[in-house]
């Protein structure tokens, strides 16, 4: 009789966000069997929270002097924004695919906002030379995720929702599938596949202040490094300039794209001093540093924040273009942006680093692929431009699926033995965790890790603080084995899931820490107060992180150059 807990597919996709859903459609179109495994319902994936929009050089809104946008201008802005750490072949590919991707989404059902003339509306975003960001009011991710989920449902592609992946399985130097805990029942399942695609999103929740969903705990990055794949550029963590004080809910860059300005406690529009040309619409690394500096220099409000002022835009524009921002500020801070400025502070927002993959999404473990925020392909380098991540998820969700379809043409379905063996090990491990009594409670350890990461590896970094931070993380690692979870049941045990997530968070944190300590320069989001200059001679390189015998170490590999040579970033 067939084992109901053992599943065979050509491809298993881990993650039901934009990347995973778009990839699934491509496998379906190619006649390949695939299934999506997701620890939450796909519509609760973090992609649903994306607000501001998706970049594409449609050229529907002219730039200065009537200039028309092109993919080359998009590529230039992206590479300059990345502080020249992005791989230019990957950026060029993404920017060339962007317009067709937006149109394809429209044909599938995405309801883009419109200009008066009926074409897709585009708004200015940070670091972009043209109004290039296509949007669905300020609920763009919600709109696209629902579009793709409808398509996946229509095609009856299997989705294992609320299944938490517990291991990647390897045999003969190849990834042959994964194991997962069915959260609602506590049962374990094995998935055997010719290829495994990681689409697990970022690791933002290793930081205390983050705009990310609580599920963004670096599971994919740690699963990959434990299985033998490398990570890339993990020290490059984006801090978004504008999160609502006290809650760290994102206030979209669209608010500044529509004309919002940042003002300090003295009533000064301070961004003109930091970025004379772009001011409030400079890239995120520049604006986040400026806000942090204003606060550090005593020009912030008590409690560590500044104001984002939209009032001059008028009620009509604010309510039509930024309805989500209005709801968030009213519900969570009692502030109506039509009549009052919004109190904001920077917060962790995006993981530029991730699973190291080539342009086809191949990791250096055969059979294992990655795309979207969990991957580092690398299109964002040291700093991502707003609107480029939604684009990356859909473009590379499709392109990486295409490369998998090519690669598995002659690959047989692997034997199920190694997956079954891994199921046995995970069963023993979970029972061991549930048997533990006494010891430490879970949540204070999670909080300590997050506080350490924000205070030691935040916007400004320096050696002695980071050394202390790394020592603190290592101590937490030792404390992990003494934690006992209060719920001892197998059914719907959220405490167990949080514990397993913590096991993923710690190695991801170590990778960030080691990369940040070794990179003795300042580039993009990585600001070393002890090494304030960019150092192209020594560090125009990607940081590669691997795990050997449980120990994490780093090496470097050169950035792929292209049509744009590194120059000073002036905004």
Ligand X SMILES: Cc1cc2nc3c(=O)[nH]c(=O)nc-3n(C[C@H](O)[C@H](O)[C@H](O)COP(=O)(O)OP(=O)(O)OC[C@H]3O[C@@H](n4cnc5c(N)ncnc54)[C@H](O)[C@@H]3O)c2cc1C
Number of chain residues interacting with ligand X (CB under 6 A) = 46
Instruction: Choose which of 7, 32, 46, 307 interacts with ligand X (CB under 6 A).
Output: 46
410 C-beta neighbours (distance < 10 Å), count: 6
Nearest to ligand X of 220, 341 (CB atom): 220
CA 48 and chain centroid, separation: 13
Q: Does 496 bind ligand X (CB under 6 A)?
A: no
For residue 205, what are its two tokens? 């929740």
Q: Does 205 bind ligand X (CB under 6 A)?
A: no
Q: Show contacts with ligand X in window 114-173 (CB under 6 A).
A: 140-141, 164-165
Rama region for 55: left / alpha / beta (φ>0; ψ in -120 to 50; rest): beta
Binding characters for ligand X, 353-392, by CB under 6 A (x = yes): -------------------xxx-----------xxxxx--
User: Which of 52-60, 102-110, 284-292, 402-410 is the region at the interface with ligand X (rule: CB under 6 A)?
Assistant: 52-60
How far apart CA 127 and CA 463 sit, in angstroms, is 29
Is residue 134 classed exposed, middle or buried when 0-12, 13-18 and 19+ CB atoms within 10 A define those classes?
Answer: buried
How many Cα atoms within 13 Å fall on the side-chain side of residue 450?
22
User: Which of 40-48, 59-67, 292-300, 472-480 is the region at the interface with ligand X (rule: CB under 6 A)?
Assistant: 40-48
Q: Would you give the end-to-end CA distance of the chain in angstroms?
A: 66
Residues 6+ apart with CB under 8 A from 448: 472, 476
Q: Does 239 bind ligand X (CB under 6 A)?
A: no
Q: Does 181 bind ligand X (CB under 6 A)?
A: no
Instruction: Choose which of 79, 120, 229, 250 interacts with ligand X (CB under 6 A).
Output: 250
Nearest to ligand X of 16, 353 (CB atom): 16
Nearest to ligand X of 223, 554 (CB atom): 223
Nearest to ligand X of 201, 228 (CB atom): 201
* Helix (DSSP H) and strand (DSSP E) numbers for the chain: 16, 21
User: Which of 101-109, 208-216, 398-406, 420-428 is the region at the interface with ligand X (rule: CB under 6 A)?
Assistant: 208-216
For residue 259, what are its two tokens? 């004309």
Which helix (H) or strand (E) is 454 found in, with range? Answer: helix 442-456
Using alpha carbons, select from 565, 571, 567, 568 the residue that is nearest to residue 88. Answer: 565
Which helix (H) or strand (E) is 331 found in, with range? Answer: helix 323-333
Nearest to ligand X of 232, 528 (CB atom): 232
555 C-beta neighbours (distance < 10 Å), count: 12
Nearest to ligand X of 344, 470 (CB atom): 344
How far apart CA 221 and CA 227 sit, in angstroms, is 10
User: Which of 50-58, 309-317, 362-370, 554-562 is the region at the interface with ligand X (rule: CB under 6 A)?
Assistant: 50-58
**Nearest distance, CB of residue 135 and ligand X, angstroms:** 8
**Nearest distance, CB of residue 29 and ligand X, angstroms:** 19
Catalytic residue list contains 284: yes
**Nearest distance, CB of residue 74 and ligand X, angstroms:** 13
**Nearest distance, CB of residue 344 and ligand X, angstroms:** 13
Instruction: Choose which of 10, 23, 27, 52 interacts with ligand X (CB under 6 A).
Output: 52
Q: Does 300 bind ligand X (CB under 6 A)?
A: no
How far apart CA 509 and CA 493 sit, in angstroms, is 25
Name the residue with the smallest CB distance to ligand X: 17
**Nearest distance, CB of residue 137 and ligand X, angstroms:** 11
Instruction: Choose which of 8, 26, 38, 238 interacts with ligand X (CB under 6 A).
Output: 38
Handedness of CA 78, 80, 86, 91 (dihedral sign): positive
Is residue 286 classed exposed, middle or buried when 0-12, 13-18 and 19+ CB atoms within 10 A define those classes?
Answer: buried
**3-state DSSP percent of the chain in helix, strand and coil, to 5:** 40, 20, 40
Nearest to ligand X of 249, 315 (CB atom): 249
**Nearest distance, CB of residue 380 and ligand X, angstroms:** 10
Q: Which one from 284, 528, 534, 569 is the annotated catalytic residue?
A: 284
DSSP classification of residue 87: -
Instruction: Choose which of 9, 24, 28, 51 interacts with ligand X (CB under 6 A).
Output: 51
User: Which of 108-116, 195-203, 338-346, 437-445 is the region at the interface with ligand X (rule: CB under 6 A)?
Assistant: 195-203
How far apart CA 193 and CA 165 sit, in angstroms, is 14
Cβ contact 77:127 at 8 Å: yes
Q: Is 221 helix (H, G, I), strand (E, B) or coil?
A: helix
**Binding stretches for ligand X (CB under 6 A):** 14-20, 37-40, 42, 45-47, 49-54, 140-141, 164-165, 199-201, 211-212, 215-216, 219-220, 250, 349-350, 372-374, 386-390, 393
Write out the catalytic residue numbers: 284
């Amino acid at each position: 009789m067939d084992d109901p807990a053992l599943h065979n597919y050509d491809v298993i996709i881990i993650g039901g966000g934009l990347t995973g859903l778009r990839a699934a459609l491509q496998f379906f179109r190619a006649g390949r069997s695939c299934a999506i495994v997701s620890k939450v319902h796909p519509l609760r994936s973090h992609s649903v929270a994306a607000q501001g929009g998706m970049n594409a050089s449609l050229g529907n809104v002219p730039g200065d002097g009537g200039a028309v946008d092109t993919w080359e201008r998009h590529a230039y802005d992206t590479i300059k924004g990345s502080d020249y750490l992005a791989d230019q072949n990957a950026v060029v590919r993404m920017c060339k695919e962007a317009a067709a991707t937006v149109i394809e989404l429209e044909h599938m059902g995405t309801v883009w906002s419109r200009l008066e003339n009926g074409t897709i509306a585009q708004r200015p975003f940070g670091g972009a030379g043209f109004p290039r960001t296509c949007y669905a009011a300020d609920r763009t991710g919600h709109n696209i995720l629902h579009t793709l989920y409808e398509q996946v449902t229509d095609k009856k592609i299997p989705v294992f929702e609320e299944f938490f992946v517990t291991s990647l399985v390897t045999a003969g130097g190849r990834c042959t599938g994964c194991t997962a805990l069915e959260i609602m029942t506590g049962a374990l399942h094995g998935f055997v596949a010719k290829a495994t695609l990681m689409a697990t999103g970022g690791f933002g929740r290793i930081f205390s202040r983050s705009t990310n969903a609580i599920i963004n705990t670096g599971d994919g990055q740690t699963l990959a490094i434990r299985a033998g794949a490398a990570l890339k550029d993990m020290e490059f963590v984006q801090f978004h300039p504008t999160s609502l004080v006290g809650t760290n809910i994102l206030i979209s860059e669209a608010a500044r794209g529509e004309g919002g300005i940042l003002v300090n406690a003295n009533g000064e529009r301070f961004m003109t001093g930091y970025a004379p040309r772009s001011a409030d619409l400079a890239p995120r690394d520049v604006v986040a540093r400026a806000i942090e500096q204003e606060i550090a220099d005593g020009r912030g409000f008590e409690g560590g924040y500044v104001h984002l002022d939209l009032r001059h835009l008028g009620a009509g524009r604010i309510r039509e273009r930024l309805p989500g921002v209005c709801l968030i500020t009213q519900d969570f801070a009692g502030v109506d942006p039509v009549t009052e400025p919004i109190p904001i502070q920077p917060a962790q927002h995006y993981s530029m680093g991730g699973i190291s993959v080539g342009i086809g999404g191949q990791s250096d473990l055969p059979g294992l692929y990655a795309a979207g925020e969990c991957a580092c392909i690398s299109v964002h380098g040291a700093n991502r431009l707003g609107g480029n991540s939604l684009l990356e998820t859909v473009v590379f969700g499709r392109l990486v699926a295409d490369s998998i379809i090519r690669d598995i043409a002659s690959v047989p379905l692997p034997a199920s033995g190694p997956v079954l063996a891994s199921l046995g090990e995970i069963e023993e491990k979970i029972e061991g965790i549930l048997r533990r009594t006494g010891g430490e409670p879970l949540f204070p350890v999670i909080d300590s890790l997050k506080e350490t990461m924000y205070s030691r590896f935040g916007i400004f970094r320096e050696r002695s603080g980071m050394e202390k931070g790394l020592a603190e993380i290592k101590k937490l690692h030792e404390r992990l084995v003494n934690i006992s979870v209060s719920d001892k049941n197998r059914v719907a045990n959220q405490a167990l899931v949080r514990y397993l997530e913590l096991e993923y968070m710690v190695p991801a944190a170590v990778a960030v820490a080691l990369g940040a300590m070794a990179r003795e320069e300042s580039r993009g989001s990585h600001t070393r107060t002890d090494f304030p200059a960019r150092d192209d001679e020594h560090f125009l390189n990607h940081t590669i992180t691997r795990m050997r015998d449980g120990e994490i170490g780093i090496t470097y590999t050169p950035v792929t150059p292209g049509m744009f040579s590194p120059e000073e970033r002036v905004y």
